[in-house]
Amino acid sequence: MATKLPKPDELSRIDYTPPKKCWMDTPAELKPGMYCWGAKAKNLNVVGFPNARDWSPAEEDWKLPKEWEGTVLEGIHDRLSKYRSFRLFMDVCVRCGACADKCHFYIGTGDPKNMPVLRAELLRSVYRKYFTVPGKLFGGLAGARELTTEVLKEWWYYFFQCTECRRCSVFCPYGIDTAEVTMMGRELLNLLGLNIDWIAGPVANCYKKGNHLGLEPHTIKSSMEFFLDDIDTLTGVKVEPTFNRKGAEILFVTPSVDLFADPGTYTAMGYLMLFHELGLDYTWSTYASEGGNFGVFTSNEMAKRLHYKIYAEAKRLGVKYIIGGECGHMWRLVNQYLDTWHGPADFMEEPVSPITGTKFENAKSTKMVHVIEFTADLIKNGKLKLDPTRNDHLNVTYHDSCNTARGMGLLDEPRYVLKNSCSNFHEMPENTIREQTFCCGSGTGLNASENMELRMRGGIPRANAVKHVHEKYGVNMLTNICAIDRATLKASMDYWVPDVSVAGVHELVGNALIMTGEKERTTDMRGEPLPGKEGDENETV
């Protein structure tokens, strides 16, 4: 018997309302700091995306086109017919919850709709209502719900709170790739002109000018000259890269942001120094001047259109193969989508390192070699003279970029290159690296500034692991091989672990590289005095 019986007045206060509402009945409340600005009409019009208009997510009226529901349902139908994976992912989930607490956004926010299973359920519930018999017959009892404006806004809010990092899919017993569910969700939103401008702008620029920033050829070339001056000042070596040179053996493509924003600029200088030292017969292109591809954050077709410029340029210049720089999603596209889009790039040759003779058999079909594999091969074959002590002022850890780690299994090469380029290297905890790496928190075009709260929350798990190695080993440099990481981890570190800087791996390679005819270096690329040269830096500015 209960020790305390309720008194009559207590009984009368019993609230019969269920304590919680079902997630379906809890509409999303769009909160500032958690979303990006809506795509501008001009940026959608450039590439012919439908329903382009200026709209604001903060307004009640999103200016949706007439009969938008039909457009979305037709869009779902098309994609179910086209992609077997999508139909499978809609049907197969048993809601076991293995993925639920693996998402960096969920870990950082505690918002249940950031559980990958529930984020996917936002779309699945509509799929059930219109495309399955139980859903049509039993509605909510079968986990189905109508497509309404509130549901659409919820989709928009949460599909742009997923960075498609695929950490959740590592833990799914069925291998459901929630990133692909987000991709489909974003494609459907894109049919209604509901993208974000941080994505739509770079897509438009890339389509018109060849890179996300809309840089024209002369701008790219003259910007590169700044780097050459800096390299000359640092090493006394004059580097003379070529642009759009027909007949070059190799085309080099890298994210354009590395040409303009620190700390990526130092990575770009690293490439220039390395290729010069090798005497590599390569060229940059001012047309295929972007490794990144924000098209993949809008639709499969747009990703294909943008990516093709790299191969069109390779064909025009007549190169034998392509080397790609440190970039994230570019590599996921090359490894997972390219062959489906275009088939083998047979107009080029199977990549062979001109320095070591190594055949890159993994790139036999795509003809595109990752620069970190290229460099690792050089080191393995003893072709580079590296002085790791030049990086002794750095205590280094490595962040596995989601796309290169989970999207192509590039786990050991960057570590091999780093360990040959620096003396102090410490791994972050096991469940935060390699296949289980945590996203920077700002991938898939979510690296705008207006959603800074979202980025900071999503960045908590990664920053927490960095903080651990910073406190335990004194780590002060977080390296990676992704341009978005370089841009966004800088902000994340600034907030969470201010004493840690961010660098691309080839920045450390450039610093360690002993170049033929170089003068004695006293600083690294950033102007920081090299160990033992602390008193000399003023003389070399």
Partner 1 sequence: MELKSILLQKKSVILKRWFDMVLETYPADSVSFFKNQKDKFANPVGAAIVEGIEKIFNELLAREMNPGTVGMFLDNIIRIRAVQDFTPAEALAFIFSLKKVVREEAWAEIQANGLTEELFAFESQIDDLSLISFNIYMKCREKIYEIKANEARDSTFRLLQRANLMTEIQEQGPDPEDVKLINIKRKEATK
Cβ at position 152, least distance to partner 1 in Å: 22
> Between residues 4 and 20, which has the closer beta carbon with respect to partner 1?
20
Quote the DSSP letter at residue 287. Answer: S
Using left for φ > 0, alpha for ψ between -120 and 50, and beta otherwise, residue 445 falls in: left
> Between residues 316 and 434, which has the closer beta carbon with respect to partner 1?
434
Beta-strand pair 250-253/282-284: parallel
Positions touching partner 1 (CB under 8 A) are 19-20, 31, 100-101, 106-112, 213, 219, 222-223, 225-226, 229-230, 257, 259-262, 265, 429, 431-432, 449, 452-453, 456-457, 460-461, 464-465, 468, 487, 490-491, 494-496, 538, 541
Cβ at position 234, least distance to partner 1 in Å: 13
Nearest to 462 by CA among 435, 493, 487: 493
> Between residues 64 and 107, which has the closer beta carbon with respect to partner 1?
107
> Between residues 332 and 455, which has the closer beta carbon with respect to partner 1?
455
Whether residue 201 contacts residue 445, with contact meaning beta carbons closer than 8 Å, is answered with: no
Tell me how far apart the alpha carbons of residues 322 and 319 are, in angstroms, rounded to a whole number: 8
Question: Alpha carbon of 468 to those of 424, 474, 476, 483, 493: distances in Å?
Answer: 16, 9, 11, 24, 13
> Between residues 193 and 459, which has the closer beta carbon with respect to partner 1?
459
Whether residue 283 contacts residue 244, with contact meaning beta carbons closer than 8 Å, is answered with: yes
- Contacts of 177 by beta carbon, 8 Å cutoff, 6+ apart: 85, 89, 166, 169
> Between residues 267 and 366, which has the closer beta carbon with respect to partner 1?
267
Cβ at position 285, least distance to partner 1 in Å: 19
Cβ at position 216, least distance to partner 1 in Å: 11
Whether residue 110 contacts residue 461, with contact meaning beta carbons closer than 8 Å, is answered with: no
Cβ at position 333, least distance to partner 1 in Å: 23
Tokens 């309720």 belong to 6
**Looking at the DSSP assignment, which residues form a beta bridge with residue 120?**
none
Cβ at position 494, least distance to partner 1 in Å: 5
Nearest to 221 by CA among 165, 174, 289: 289
Q: What crossing angle do the helices spanning 178-191 and 116-131 adopt, rounded to 10°? A: 60
Cβ at position 225, least distance to partner 1 in Å: 7
> Between residues 153 and 462, which has the closer beta carbon with respect to partner 1?
462
Strand ranges of the sheet holding 368-370, from the earlier edge strand across to the other edge: 282-284, 250-253, 321-324, 368-370
Question: Alpha carbon of 507 to those of 77, 174, 326, 382: distances in Å?
Answer: 47, 39, 11, 19
Whether residue 469 contacts residue 428, with contact meaning beta carbons closer than 8 Å, is answered with: yes
Cβ at position 399, least distance to partner 1 in Å: 14
> Between residues 403 and 488, which has the closer beta carbon with respect to partner 1?
488
CA atoms within 13 A on the CB side of 62: 25
Cβ at position 536, least distance to partner 1 in Å: 15
> Between residues 465 and 508, which has the closer beta carbon with respect to partner 1?
465
Whether residue 130 contacts residue 76, with contact meaning beta carbons closer than 8 Å, is answered with: yes
- Contacts of 536 by beta carbon, 8 Å cutoff, 6+ apart: 522, 529
Cβ at position 278, least distance to partner 1 in Å: 26
> Between residues 31 and 77, which has the closer beta carbon with respect to partner 1?
31
